[in-house]
Amino acid sequence: MYQPINQVRLRGFLTEPARLFVSRSGQPRITFRMEVWIDDENLPPKKPAGVDYFSVVAFGTEFVNLLPHLALEREVTLAGRLRSRDIDIDGRRVVTEIVAHEIVLLKTRADAVYEKGRPHATLH
């Protein structure tokens, strides 16, 4: 079975609300940036310390329903693959981004506080 080596799985927080775009072919896509905290002490120091930032794009109608929930500081996990592409803005530049094929919304702090006062349901 073929498995590409550029698969990624990340957990982090949105640094901006997600945006919806429609491609020339009519396919919807959402984009956002996320910060991922680094907890590996073996890496050399950098600024800002302990954080990496990634651009994320997700193609397809299945992600459009997530748009209202993909707000600033929302925590998500995602699975996808790395993609780089050339863009021509003020000279040639290479952009590396994550093409997500799975996005999972995690509880917000408000959700956790709200549920803290309620009895927990058990699964049968």
pLDDT in tens, 58-67: 999 999 999 9
Whole-model pTM? 0.75
Superfamily assignment of 7-116 in CATH? Nucleic acid-binding proteins (2.40.50.140)
Q: Report pLDDT for 96.
A: 85
For residue 47, pLDDT beyond 70: no
C-alpha pair distances (Å), 85 with each of 3, 77, 93, 97 = 21, 24, 8, 8
Question: Is the CB of residue 57 less than 8 Å from the CB of residue 73?
Answer: no
Contacts of 27 (CB under 8 A, 6+ apart): 59, 60
Q: Report pLDDT for 1.
A: 55
- Token reading at 66: 């997530």
The CA distance from 10 to 5, in Å, is: 15
User: Would you tell me how many other CB atoms lie within 10 Å of the CB of residue 11?
Assistant: 13
pLDDT tens digits along 27-39: 999 999 999 887 7
Pairing of strands 7-14, 75-88: antiparallel
Q: Lowest mean pLDDT of 28-32, 48-52, 113-117, name the range.
A: 113-117
Burial grade of 61 (CB within 10 A; 0-12, 13-18, 19 or more): exposed
